[in-house]
Structures are given as structure tokens and as C-alpha cells.
């Protein structure tokens, strides 16, 4: 604190040069060397902005701008750390004192004043202001540190989620390009139906986890080239519940949404889906959105066991399943945004086969 006091910035504002010289000598005798003297009050605001002072000694009666007008200009800045202002004036009346204190002055001395008394008042006000500034700076530093650590945790959690999504891809015929396409389609559809930016970002990062439960499906079932036998299909359907169990127990918004998506993206609007047979708005909206994006991209993508459907055929199926598999409102919004969905599909198209 003593070092801060020595380097404290003081601003003197008085239209009388003699008064300024007297104040400078007094302050120098008490160790204050960083002192700026201003004779024209019109210079106070720009010089204040250029170098924030720690204390201001201010006259009231000056040409061009009075001390009251100077204080009004400073208060209009809404500076959270406005320095203390000590009014030095020849106006002894109580009305001036009250008006000055109401305008923002922290102290008020009438001329002629005792220089030692002024020095002590300056010291006390400076100590309080510098301590306040120190606490403010520490709070800002801590806040920045908390933001940095929070962002680090968010990035780490996001990387874990992305890697889990990739782990599921390695066990399936689906490619990372499908994951990219369907997650961006889902995010775009979410934005279209009114989700805010934060929720859309969550969707973008949670949607790739939709099939994470396939990690728990035996290879003999998951990688079977032909149609499933009834008992195999029952095993395959458990991937939705397995995915929800894998993602359960975390309180982050991201993993909660990923859990909902993994558990419900095979539910159907009419209640004929799995694993729980949910219907209508009992299905979380995130699951309803991903169901639509996932099916559309799967239909229009080639796989070793199927051809890619033409877009017109996939659109016809969406219309056919409107109100059955998919929520009607989402189908309408998806088709309204079909050009944007096709642009997403083109942007992350499958790479050409190697020669």
C-alpha cells in the first residue's frame, strides 16, 4: 500500500496558477510526485480518460466550467472506481457544501485552509480509494480465473463427449461424416424452431452421442450384414437404454441433453417407437429433432448394405411419416429449411473412394 501511495496519481484543477503551485509544493513535500495540474477545467474530462487519477482536488468557481459541471461530467462516465474528489473553494456557505457533496465530492475545504490538514485528508482518502481499487482488481482477477477454469472444464467435457461419439463410430458402419451432417442438421432445425444460441450449441455437441449405446451391442449383432432375427432386433434396440445409462449421472447441460437424445431418438410421435414407447411431447424435443435429422441423413447416404435414396424419395418418406414417426411441426420446419439441410449435406459429403 505504501508503494501504491507513492505512485498515486493526483489531479489538481484550479484556474489560479498560484493555487496550483502551492498545492504542488505541499503534495511534493509529502512524497506525492505523480501530480497533474490543470488550469482549464475543459481539459479535465479528456485527461481523466487518458490517465485515471486516484484523487482529484477541485476548485468550484472557474471560467468555462464550474466545479459542479466538472463533477457532473465525471459522474456521467459511470466509472465504477471514480476517485474521491476534494473540493477546495472560497465559498463558505452551507448550501455550497451540501450541493458539492450531493454532486459527488467526498470532502470539502474552504480557503484559506490548513495545508497539513489537507495533506492528512488526502492521505486518508487515498488509502481508502487504493484499498478499494486493490480489492476490485483482485475480484476482477478471480472472476477472470474462474471464467478461464470454467471454460477449461467445458472444453475438457466437450472433448470427452466427442471422443465417446467417435468410439461408437468405430464399431458401426456409420461414418464420422454422418455424425457431422446429422448433428449440424439437428442444430439448424433446433434454431429454426426457436432454440437460443446456447441451446443450439448444446445440440450440436450432444447429437453425436445419439448412438453411443452401440458400444454395448455384441459384434455378432451390430455388424451382421443381413436382416436381424427377432431376438437380434431386441438386442439391437437396447442400445438406446445402454446409451442413456452411459451418459447418466452428470449434472452438466451437455451430458443431460446427450442422455435424453441417446434414450429417445428412436421414439416415435405416435408412440410406436422404442425403448419406452413414448408419444408426442412426452418425448424430449431434443430427441424428436435428432430422430428427424438422423433418419433423413441415413436415408440419403449410401451404406455397404444399401443405396443412397434420392432426396425426393427421402422427402416423400418424411411427409408420409408426418404425425406418425415424426412431429408434424418439425417435419414442416425441416422441409421449409430443406435448401439449408442439403447445403449441410454437401458440405460434409462422404470423401471419394481412394483409387
Q: What pLDDT is stored for residue 172 in this prediction?
A: 62
157, three cell numbers: 467435457
Taking only Cα atoms into account, the Rg of the chain, rounded to an integer number of angstroms, comes to: 35
Edge-to-edge strand list for the sheet holding 55-58: 35-38, 10-13, 55-58, 85-89, 107-110
Neighbouring-strand partners of residue 87: 58, 108
Dmax over CA atoms of the chain, in Å, equals: 103
Instruction: Work out the angle at residue 122's Cα, subtended by the Cα atoms of residues 118 and 125, and round it to the nearest 5 degrees.
Output: 135
Grid coordinates in use for 253?
Answer: 447441460
For each successive 10 residues of the chain (355 residues), what is the average pLDDT? 70 92 89 89 91 90 91 88 87 86 87 84 86 77 79 73 69 69 95 96 91 89 84 94 90 89 97 96 97 95 82 97 98 97 91 58
pLDDT for the residue 1: 44
Which domains, and CATH codes, for the chain?
A: 2-143 (3.40.50.2300), 171-347 (1.10.3210.10)
- pLDDT of the residue at 10: 93
Please say whether the dihedral angle defined by the alpha carbons of residues 351, 353, 354 and 355, taken in this order, is positive or negative: negative
pTM beyond 0.75: no
Give the CA count within 13 Å in the CB-facing half-sphere of 19.
19
CA distance 294 to 321: 14
- Please give the grid coordinates belonging to residue 69: 459541471
pLDDT of residue 7: 76
Residue with cell 421414439: 267
Amino acid at each position: 500500500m505504501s508503494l501504491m501511495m507513492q505512485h498515486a496519481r493526483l489531479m489538481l484543477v484550479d484556474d489560479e496558477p498560484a493555487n496550483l503551485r502551492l498545492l504542488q509544493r505541499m503534495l511534493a513535500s509529502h512524497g506525492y510526485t505523480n501530480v497533474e495540474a490543470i488550469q482549464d477545467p475543459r481539459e479535465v474530462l479528456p485527461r481523466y480518460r487518458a490517465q485515471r487519477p486516484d484523487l482529484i482536488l477541485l476548485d468550484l468557481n472557474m471560467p468555462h466550467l464550474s466545479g459542479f459541471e466538472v463533477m457532473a461530467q465525471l459522474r456521467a462516465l459511470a466509472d465504477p472506481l471514480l476517485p474521491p474528489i476534494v473540493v477546495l473553494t472560497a465559498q463558505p456557505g452551507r448550501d455550497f457544501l451540501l450541493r458539492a457533496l450531493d454532486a459527488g465530492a467526498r470532502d470539502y475545504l474552504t480557503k484559506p485552509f490548513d495545508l497539513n490538514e489537507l495533506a492528512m485528508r488526502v492521505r486518508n482518502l487515498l488509502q481508502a480509494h487504493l484499498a478499494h481499487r486493490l480489492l476490485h482488481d483482485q475480484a476482477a482477477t478471480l472472476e477472470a480465473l474462474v471464467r478461464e477454469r470454467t471454460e477449461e472444464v467445458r472444453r475438457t467435457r466437450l472433448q470427452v463427449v466427442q471422443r465417446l461419439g467417435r468410439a461408437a463410430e468405430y464399431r458401426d458402419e456409420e461414418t464420422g461424416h454422418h455424425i457431422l451432417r446429422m448433428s449440424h442438421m439437428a442444430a439448424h432445425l433446433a434454431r429454426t424452431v426457436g432454440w437460443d444460441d446456447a441451446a443450439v450449441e448444446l445440440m450440436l455437441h450432444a447429437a453425436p452421442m445419439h448412438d453411443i449405446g452401440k458400444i454395448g451391442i455384441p459384434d455378432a449383432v451390430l455388424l451382421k450384414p443381413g436382416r436381424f432375427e427377432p431376438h437380434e432386433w431386441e438386442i439391437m434396440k437396447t442400445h438406446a437404454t445402454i446409451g442413456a445409462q452411459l451418459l447418466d449421472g452428470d449434472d452438466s447441460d451437455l451430458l443431460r441433453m446427450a442422455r435424453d437424445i441417446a434414450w429417445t431418438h428412436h421414439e416415435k410421435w405416435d408412440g410406436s417407437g422404442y425403448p419406452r414407447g413414448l408419444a408426442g411431447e412426452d418425448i424430449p424435443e431434443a430427441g424428436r429433432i435428432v430422430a428427424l435429422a438422423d433418419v433423413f441423413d441415413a436415408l440419403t447416404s449410401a451404406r455397404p448394405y444399401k443405396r443412397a435414396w434420392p432426396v425426393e424419395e427421402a422427402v416423400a418418406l418424411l411427409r408420409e411419416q408426418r404425425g406418425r414417426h415424426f412431429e408434424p411441426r418439425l417435419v414442416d420446419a425441416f422441409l421449409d429449411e430443406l435448401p439449408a439441410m442439403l447445403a449441410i449435406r454437401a458440405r460434409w459429403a462422404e470423401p471419394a473412394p481412394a483409387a
